[in-house]
Structure 1
Amino acid sequence: MSKLFCFGLGFSAEALSARLKREGWEIAGTVRSEEKAERLRGLGYEMVTFEGPEGKAKVLRLLEGTTHLLLSIPPRDGDPALEIFADEIGALKSLQWIGYLSTVGVYGDHEGAAVDETTTPKPEKDRSKARVEAEAAWLALGEEIGVPTQVFRLAGIYGPGRSAVQKVQDGTAKRIVKPGQVFSRIHVEDIATVVAASIDKPRQGAIYNVADDEPAPPQDIIAYAAELLGIEPPPEVPFEEADMSPMARSFYSERRRIVNDRIKSELKVTLAYPTYREGLRSLVPPQD
């Protein structure tokens, strides 16, 4: 019996877990709240809340028998799963595969140029620097214990309940324009496809850019979502005048075009949503 354990069973990990559960896998993991743990238990998953070293014993009970380990907790002053559980993970005789969900933010700013997995990361933000360190630490652990370990650098994630469609519907969408700005993105179901393909074809030290085929200006995505819904799009707002949180504004400080050739050539992945157009069309509710 195959068993997936997710440290941080969030949006992306849920998409993968649902797919593997249908194939007969056992699913276990950690989340931050008891409310979410209860919801996932209702799906047949074994779940506990992540409480740091104090909650170590209850996590170890669920780790037992894990064949595939997925890491999805953002690092803060180090990777908490690695710092607390490295020895126990290394001692898991059942373990066959480790996957780490990272971010394309590790590449830093390339002024709109294309980047692939051979591009040396040059993170500028503290959160991206922490990701680079966590990637290296998990790859080193995998090498040390002889378990194939892969890193997935995810572009901007969207999917059901979390997309421009919902933002346009609820009136929170902003059409912010910064000349030359593009973002790469990826539908959550395509993330699940890529990770599942890696499970079927593991390679120690593999790094995969997980993005769709078309980096695009963010205002275009909002405009297309509005068009699909038959709603007038919000007015364009120059970046300099936009009311944005510091976190949101920080994303606009970097430009790069993510190249995704490796997931196709090596993992033989065919994206269900190769551009934002297919992805957003799939998220528009049926019209009466």
Structure 2
Amino acid sequence: MPCWGRTQPKGHIENRDDMTKTLLSFGHGFSAVALAARLVPQGWRIIGTTRKAEKCDALRAAGVEPVLWDEDLSNHIASASHLLISAGPGPDGDPVLNRYRDQITTPAAAFDWVGYLSTTGVYGDHQGGWVDEATPLTPSTKRGQLRVEAEAAWQKIPNLPLHIFRLAGIYGPGRGPFAKVRNGTARRIIKEGQVFSRIHVDDIAQVLEASINRPNPGAAYNLCDNDPAPPEDVIAYAAELLQMPVPEAVDFETAEMTPMARSFYAESKRVRNDRIKDELGVVLQYPDYRSGLSALLKAEQQT
């Protein structure tokens, strides 16, 4: 059963002139939810795809029109003025292009803005060195390589007003270190020279909104805060905020970790974010993990 917020007759295509600000969000997840929270109060129509019918009610409650990924989305593509692609690529390539390349590339699909959420993993390992948007894409993981290929596939579409956003590690409400610190499962994995960049989901949303308001087709942006830091420092600070003991330090080489978790330590780099500031005028709400974690804990305590 479809879970659309409004029912449309089969074959009906809305007139884009009647709905000039319609965002179709493919893979309406954590970052897209934060963006919708900024756009819905401004009168935007947001259509968000999901693979799980049980998520539809929550999307509706947030002012988003949910639609199941398995439904035919052609009419929604035709009516959208803006596209956001959060769905990640798989071994067979980008799932959106695999299904809807023809509809997206048709001249009738004259989008005002298209945003593709990628990852800073496309830069690969730089042994703690700095990278920016001009750094060659040399991923060292399969996930990073798939993202490079997906970026290239979107870039090949002629006349598409594409903007690529390379996201560092995302945290925000419900996605932070506090739960693991509280339940005693947090560990400070120590790998000499290891640093990660990260970004609060609310700052992702404000960058996306700034880009929508100031489009620059063809641009790529790094989304991260100002303070790349060793992951063990973040865990220690979370424990300090909670007034709990700092979790034990565990050497990376001997730590029991899943292959996925271990793969994140295969790359170490510091990511520059000058472009979002200089070109889009963004002032980060949470310029470092300390301000971000402090705000998360304060919000928790107020609920």
TM-score range, shorter chain: over 0.9
What is the aligned-residue RMSD (CA, Å)?
Answer: 1.5
Superposition deviation, residue 37 in structure 1: 2.2
Counterpart pick for 1:132 among 148, 152, 157: 148
Counterpart pick for 1:84 among 91, 99, 110: 99
Residue 210 of structure 2 is matched in structure 1 by 197
Greater shift, 121-130 or 272-281, is seen at 121-130
The whole-number CA distance in structure 1 between the counterparts of 2:184 and 2:80 is 43
Pairs within 5 Å for 1:12-31: 12-31=31-50
The whole-number CA distance in structure 2 between the counterparts of 1:287 and 1:236 is 31
Residue 253 of structure 1 is matched in structure 2 by 266
Residue 263 of structure 1 is matched in structure 2 by 276
Greater shift, 246-255 or 35-44, is seen at 35-44
Q: Deviations over 1:119-175 (max 9, x none)?
A: 00001212111101111111221xx1x232100000000000001123212333221
Counterpart pick for 2:53 among 6, 10, 34: 34
Q: In 2, are the aligned partners of 1:173 and 1:222 still within 8 Å (CA)?
A: yes
The whole-number CA distance in structure 1 between the counterparts of 2:133 and 2:110 is 30
Superposition deviation, residue 89 in structure 1: 1.6
Pairs within 5 Å for 1:1-288: 1-51=20-70, 55=71, 57=72, 59-76=73-90, 77-91=92-106, 92-141=108-157, 144=158, 146-284=159-297, 285-286=300-301
Q: In 2, are the aligned partners of 1:65 and 1:94 still within 8 Å (CA)?
A: no
Superposition deviation, residue 43 in structure 1: 2.3
Q: In 2, are the aligned partners of 1:214 and 1:276 still within 8 Å (CA)?
A: yes
The whole-number CA distance in structure 2 between the counterparts of 1:34 and 1:215 is 38
Q: Which residue identity does 2:55 align to in structure 1?
A: K
The whole-number CA distance in structure 2 between the counterparts of 1:212 and 1:89 is 32
Question: In structure 2, do the counterparts of structure 1 residues 287 and 81 end up closer, same or farther at CA, with 3 Å as the change threshold?
Answer: closer
Matched position secondary structure for 1:181: coil
Q: Deviations over 1:194-233 (max 9, x none)?
A: 1111101111110000000010000100000010111112
Question: In structure 2, do the counterparts of structure 1 residues 170 and 4 end up closer, same or farther at CA, with 3 Å as the change threshold?
Answer: farther
Q: In 1, are the aligned partners of 2:77 and 2:109 still within 8 Å (CA)?
A: no
| Structure 1 stretches lacking a partner, 5+ long | none
The whole-number CA distance in structure 2 between the counterparts of 1:8 and 1:164 is 25
Q: In 1, are the aligned partners of 2:78 and 2:109 still within 8 Å (CA)?
A: no
Q: Deviations over 1:179-200 (max 9, x none)?
A: 1101000000000011111101
TM-score (norm 1): 0.93
Q: Which residue identity does 1:26 align to in structure 2?
A: R
Residue 6 of structure 2 is matched in structure 1 by none
TM-score (norm 2): 0.89
The whole-number CA distance in structure 2 between the counterparts of 1:286 and 1:3 is 35
Q: Which residue identity does 2:250 align to in structure 1?
A: V
| Percent sequence identity over aligned pairs | 54
The whole-number CA distance in structure 2 between the counterparts of 1:148 and 1:95 is 7
Matched position secondary structure for 1:223: helix
> How many pairs were matched up?
280
Q: In 2, are the aligned partners of 1:5 and 1:29 still within 8 Å (CA)?
A: yes
Q: Which residue identity does 2:271 align to in structure 1?
A: I
Question: In structure 2, do the counterparts of structure 1 residues 66 and 287 end up closer, same or farther at CA, with 3 Å as the change threshold?
Answer: closer
